[in-house]
Amino acid sequence: MNFRRTRREEVGVNLTPLIDVVFLLLIFFMVSTTFTRETQLKLDLPESASGEPVENQNLEQIEVLVSATGEVTINGKSLINPDLDNLQTALQREAAGNNSLPVVITADAKASHQSVITVMDAAGQQGFSRLRLTTNELETPAQ
């Protein structure tokens, strides 16, 4: 008997389609991902001996933060150039035509007076009449 050895063909997996699918998924996730930059300003609030805590906080309000360096954020969205026109545009966009919303201005104790006045002026020119300033309660020494 003559037994011939048959040649074994090497079995392999073609990786080219797998690599194509991986690159397509990578491109899909890169294009569909949105990046948000969380902006939070560190504020040291001024102190006040008088004032009233807000009892009935509306869920809808416009919150304006002014940092010590003059940076301004409106409802968590930072303004690149916080001049009067940009503030008016941003307030109008956030209000969506509802000028009865309260505008809460939270300014750092070391923020320039001009920055706070500019925010108040922009709100006033847009027709907002309910402005609030945020302060810390002044601690009185125990007697």
DSSP secondary structure string, 51-111?
A: ----SS--SS-EEEEE-TT--EEETTEE-SS--HHHHHHHHHHHHTT-TTS-EEEEE-TTS
Number of continuous H segments (helices) and E segments (strands) in the chain: 3, 7
User: Per-domain residue ranges for the chain?
Assistant: 59-136
pLDDT value at 38 more than 60: no
Integer Cα distance of 38 and 54 in angstroms: 27
Could you report the per-residue pLDDT of 80-95, keeping only the tens digit for each? Answer: 888 888 888 888 888 8
Residue 17: predicted pLDDT = 92
What CATH number matches the domain at 59-136, 3.30.365.10, 3.90.550.10, 3.30.420.270, 3.40.140.10? 3.30.420.270
DSSP 49: S
Q: What is the pLDDT of residue 50?
A: 62
Residue 141 has pLDDT above 60, yes or no: no
pLDDT of residue 126: 84
The residue with greater pLDDT, 81 or 57, is: 81
- Per-residue pLDDT of 14-23, as tens digits, reads 889 999 999 9
Q: What is the DSSP letter of 127?
A: T
Average pLDDT, stretch 45-70? 71
pTM above 0.75, yes or no: no
